[in-house]
Amino acid sequence: MSRVGPEFPTSSSPNSLLGQKMRPPLVAARMRLPLVAVVALLAFIPESLTSWEEWWTYDGISGPSFWGLINPQWGLCSKGRRQSPVNIEAEKLLFDPRLRPLHVDKHMISGSLHNTGQSLVLRVNQDSKHHVNISGGPLDYRYQLQEGYIHYGNTDGQGSEHRVNGYQFPAEIQLYGFNAELYHNMSEAQHKSQGIVAISLMLQIRDKPNPELHVLTSSFGQVAYRGQSAPFRHLSVRALLPDTNHYMTYEGSTTHPGCWETTVWIILNKPIYITRQELYALRKLMQGSPETPKAPLGNNARPLQPLHHRTVRTNIDFFREQGKNCPKMYKDHYYRANPWSEDNRSQGRNSGDMP
């Protein structure tokens, strides 16, 4: 089922000033008006009458191809040159010996899961005494974890936004933090240089899941419809991360509007695991309300963006000695995403790690 377009406020909505004399842009689209006419109609609606954060989608007239037209402040979505997500190509990775181990605080966090109608969003309580700080790795500053996004597919063959050698994982969790040394909050940091860090966790299917992930998956049934939220408590982000010190990193953007090009991406080189039962519960989430459920929430991945000559660095050393004092770089496919199958798992090979 294709994703259904956004709901605009109606005359009965407390936030609506449209009245009944003006049809919302999506209705115009359904009337098969030319795209130019739809965009023109958008321009005539005062910004104060719309909630840009609520009605963008992942397909159709309000999908990724049109994010830059929906809101003038989102122009980078259409014109940016450092956009995310990207495909990680093994042969183009550059080993950087200056990259340090990534450090994530051990503090447990509490917060809430929200079904926004576009994604399942994790929001961390900011009034906590102990914040989870992210430092090290490619970062020059200390970043404070604030939110996360869960991207997933309605089938196993799609879901993650980033890809590894063209392989798309069933899901991807993206954890965002803001530069707490230079800026006060995410709203300020997203517009500023080195404002945001995003840690990407790829999810693969396995019978034995990540135990810490259960803190989140146990609440999926409470956020089945748009606008619903559910609290979570005592989540250890450190324990959620896979058991690896290896990662890839590049300069990019947020993958949701307004596609801010102030994001340092850190893609960990090993997935975490989710069961089929947990993934099934995730796929039952809907875009709309209980009265109008619309389409499933899944398939919420922005299309791949071109690298435009950006460098993707890694802290895995490709160098091998070839005789005395003659190191060379070998283009081993350290990040080749092995196909997942029960036969491979039973043989102890190709477990879905990268690698």
Residues in the chain: 355
**DSSP conformational letter for 319:** E
Rounded Cα–Cα distance for residues 305 and 143 (Å): 25
How many CB atoms are located within 10 Å of the residue 17 CB? 13
63 Ramachandran zone, left/alpha/beta (phi>0; psi -120 to 50): beta
Note if 250 is an active site residue: no
Residue in 183, 225, 334, 335 annotated catalytic: 183
Dist CA 318 CA 329 (whole Å)? 5
Q: Given 3-state DSSP classes, what are the helix, strand and coil percentages for the chain, each rounded to the nearest 5? A: 20, 25, 55
Q: How far is CA 343 from CA 315, 340, 350, in A?
A: 32, 9, 10
Q: Decide if 113 contacts 219 (C-beta within 8 A).
A: yes
Q: Are 232 and 216 in contact (CB under 8 A)?
A: yes
Six-digit token string for 295: 């389409």
Catalytic residues, by residue number, are 183
